[in-house]
Structure 1
């Protein structure tokens, strides 16, 4: 029997965001006959670990640097895959000093603040020499890495993917009504959803400004996600007279069902990599209004599967949302084309296969 390739993942977050979900789903789908995997969460415990426990995916919590190193060496990985900037910068040199050279880094996004800092760029570029491959999840990120001096042969473009079958399951009308009633959403309102952690980089404050322009229209907004900005956003919604229209749902595990009652999806981010939430909305047949940042334009075709606007432009955001609210047929057409695009260009199976192929190439070399 062929030797299984031992792959060790190190993660810097246990929240339930796009990066965390993609990494989990990948390990869930990886070929278990060809690969043996283990995960170190080099961070406090969190909700995503319940998913790993349920699927019996091997992982450990951080026990301090020396014990973490002993654990890694005990596993004797053929490949180490790093997720998150903090983890990448901490472990790249350490792994080289431990004699582990088959190290892969993944860059899901450029910043969590909306501004790419000078030292963030420099430290990333300086330590990238300790990586065999740097996975970029969008063409925009791949181009950014090249512009910053990384050699083209080190960069591996692997788009995030989504399982369309999980999301393209329309709810029966009765179940839609029941879910809306449970949430307190008026049955006749147009439902706008935004799935994103409540952090400045996600631009929720600009969504609230846009909604205040439209507040005379009949809509309800589902803000799905956790984060430190929640209290501020709740307060700002009330100040704008939107407290009866905006529903803060926190973190949810029923995203497919919530997207099934959604008419318009909005992501007003200041910076992105390849947002999983947009993929999930498109896989649900929902038109998207998003800011033209990062790899979003590689997903959303402006005027075809949704609308793109510059970041921090609430007036334009409101304009595009209004167009979709006024035109049900346009919503259906854009939603259908978005689903077709996800199925043809961003299948989850393609992402898994390309990552497995990368692991095999590194192992054989």
Structure 2
């Protein structure tokens, strides 16, 4: 690869809080600066997490017209789209990145074709979900995506199921496919910290706490979860729901809480900056999505030594070993979910033993060090092949 520092450009819509955006926030500052210089091009706007990255020396760019037109984004949407394209072209010409790495479908579909004009850079795409999202697009959009796959130097999945789908359904050649799992930095919490957190959240000491960290989006399965909670025979537990009301469904969820008489058990916490502490205050972790790639939230719960109850979608069952580190249930099934919750709520020994094994597994298999090594090895390989 030589001694020169390689410039890496990561392309995404914005850095508003979400799983992929949080992943970039964690990964980019840890890349070896002696070999790599990362920056981010946001084709919509910088977003909430941009300042945290900029404080750590990662430059974040946004379209030049965004700041002046943002208040009229609906009216000027076509102009903003054009501004994004021309800003990206300008960015490529001025910064001359060695690698252009796309995250999330919108950035890939909009700017992937434009990036091909920049012949000197290597092109990568990271897929972080199953391709269910393609069903809402016209057929020609899927065609563009498949066409782009063949012109990438590498296509990365964050779970084996995503990688398998890219190969079988979308024809990505095996020699271009790479698997890089999400990674997490484990922070240990003491028993006294756990108690302090529970007091701050007004959680009675005798209550078991279940936690789900997921933005309020229909496919995240919150309706299934609340319907499952309605089937639980006791009310000696607390459910903490952490996440932004991204799809404006909190009112519907709160109505379901009232219908099931769960007002004393279910707490909507909204967006929190102390998610690690909330996991540490919990006894059971949950992720009940209808579709998923590979969830950071699952790893965070496991890192807090929690048994996780997850649905069998995406990479969930690659992280959570059913019956060993948690329980895996079918999606869209409140009854199966309720049975899994009952099993862990009533069995202290099983809950603690599964949680201990979950903590061991995340430390052994999904460390942030392993994730960083995966990215750096891939970037090095691109230039060795040159």
Asked if Structure 1 and Structure 2 have the same fold, meaning a TM-score greater than 0.5 normalized by the shorter chain, the answer is: yes
Instruction: Determine the structure 1 residue equivalent to 2:77.
Output: none
1:89 to 109, 118, 126: 109
Q: Secondary structure at the match of 1:69?
A: helix
2:358 to 329, 338, 353: 338
Asked whether the 8 Å contact 1:186–1:220 carries over to 2, the reply is no
Give, in whole Å, the separation in 1 of the partners of 2:122 and 2:133: 31
Asked whether the 8 Å contact 1:113–1:200 carries over to 2, the reply is no
Instruction: Determine the structure 2 residue equivalent to 1:146.
Output: 167
Give, in whole Å, the separation in 2 of the partners of 1:115 and 1:350: 33
**Which stretch of structure 1 is more off in the superposition, 101-110 or 123-132?**
123-132
Alignment map for 1:173-212 (pairs within 5 Å): 173=192, 175-212=193-230
Post-superposition CA distance 1:16-57 (Å, at most 9, x none): 222111111111100011111111111234221132133232
Q: CA shift at 1:116, angstroms?
A: 7.2
Structure 2: give runs of 5+ residues left out of the alignment: 65-82
Q: Does 1:107 align with 2:119?
A: no
Asked whether the 8 Å contact 1:7–1:38 carries over to 2, the reply is yes
Q: CA shift at 1:215, angstroms?
A: 5.8
Structure 1: give runs of 5+ residues left out of the alignment: none
Q: Secondary structure at the match of 1:161?
A: coil
Asked whether the 8 Å contact 1:6–1:77 carries over to 2, the reply is yes
Post-superposition CA distance 1:302-340 (Å, at most 9, x none): 000000000011011011111110011111100111111
Instruction: Determine the structure 2 residue equivalent to 1:316.
Output: 336
Alignment map for 1:1-365 (pairs within 5 Å): 2-63=3-64, 64=83, 65-110=85-130, 119=139, 121-148=142-169, 149-164=171-186, 166=187, 169-173=188-192, 175-214=193-232, 216-226=234-244, 227-228=246-247, 229-364=249-384, 365=386
Give, in whole Å, the separation in 2 of the partners of 1:118 and 1:296: 29
Distance 1:115 1:203, change over 3 A: farther
Report how many aligned residue pairs link the two structures: 361
Structure 1 length as normaliser, TM-score?
0.94
Distance 1:342 1:184, change over 3 A: same
Q: CA shift at 1:252, angstroms?
A: 1.1
Give, in whole Å, the separation in 2 of the partners of 1:45 and 1:236: 35
Structure 2 length as normaliser, TM-score?
0.89
**Which stretch of structure 1 is more off in the superposition, 322-331 or 231-240?**
231-240
Q: Secondary structure at the match of 1:50?
A: helix
Give, in whole Å, the separation in 2 of the partners of 1:94 and 1:196: 33
Moved over 4 A (4+): 111-118
Q: CA shift at 1:297, angstroms?
A: 0.8
